[in-house]
């Protein structure tokens, strides 16, 4: 079945390198197709899948750059998954931000979020939810243990 909506990413000239890196991060990921410039042989468009989700990357030149208005949200089941993705995506020039956000070396924004976070900040007990939210607002990389301790501290 064809995916109706596909995320399209504009790179200067690093689309193939970025797609190869991204597909190394997640299971069920692969490069689907690379469309090359017939004369130079350089990649023009890279079609790839991340965890089964189809994306397109274009080498479109330096005219546009990424900003935080668009990000890729990654739902993580464990702290180990959060830690590994955080380390790999911030390596080689990536930047940490607040509340689970980061930018990778190409400037693409990611949200690395443990599935426990939305559970804690939507807790039916407003005090627990507020304490978890306050703890999260002080974090860069999300730490599940610290969130749980904050929520329970009432």
Task: State the DSSP string of the chain.
Answer: ---SS-EEEEESS-HHHHHHHHHHHSSS-EEEEEEE-TTT--EEEEEEEETTEEEEEEE--TT----TTSEEEEEESSHHHHHHHHHHHHGGG-EE-STTEEE-TT--EEEEEETHHHHHHT-SSHHHHHHHHHHHHT-SS--HHHHHHHHHT-
Instruction: Check pLDDT > 80 for residue 1.
Output: no
Rounded to the nearest integer, the mean pLDDT of the chain is 96
**72-96, pLDDT tens digit by residue?**
999 999 999 999 999 999 999 999 9
- Count of CB atoms within 10 A of residue 11's CB? 24
DSSP strand pairing (43-50 vs 30-36): antiparallel
Please say whether the beta carbons of 73 and 51 come within 8 A. Answer: no
Please say whether the beta carbons of 109 and 103 come within 8 A. Answer: yes
**20-37, pLDDT tens digit by residue?**
999 999 999 999 999 999
Query: Which pTM does this prediction carry?
Result: 0.93
């Amino acid at each position: 079945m064809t995916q109706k909506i596909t995320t399209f990413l504009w790179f200067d000239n690093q689309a193939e390198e970025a797609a190869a890196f991204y597909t190394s991060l997640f299971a069920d990921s692969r490069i689907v197709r690379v469309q090359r410039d017939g004369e130079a042989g350089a990649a023009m468009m890279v079609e790839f899948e991340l965890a089964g989700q189809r994306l397109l990357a274009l080498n479109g030149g330096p005219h546009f750059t990424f900003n935080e208005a668009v990000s890729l949200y990654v739902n993580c089941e464990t702290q180990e998954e959060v830690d590994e993705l955080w380390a790999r995506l911030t390596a080689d020039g990536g930047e940490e931000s607040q509340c689970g956000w980061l930018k990778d070396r190409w400037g693409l924004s990611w949200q690395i979020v443990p599935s426990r976070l939305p559970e804690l900040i939507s807790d039916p007990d407003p005090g627990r939810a507020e304490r978890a939210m306050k703890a999260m607002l002080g974090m860069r990389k999300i730490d599940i243990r610290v969130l749980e301790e904050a929520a329970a501290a009432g």
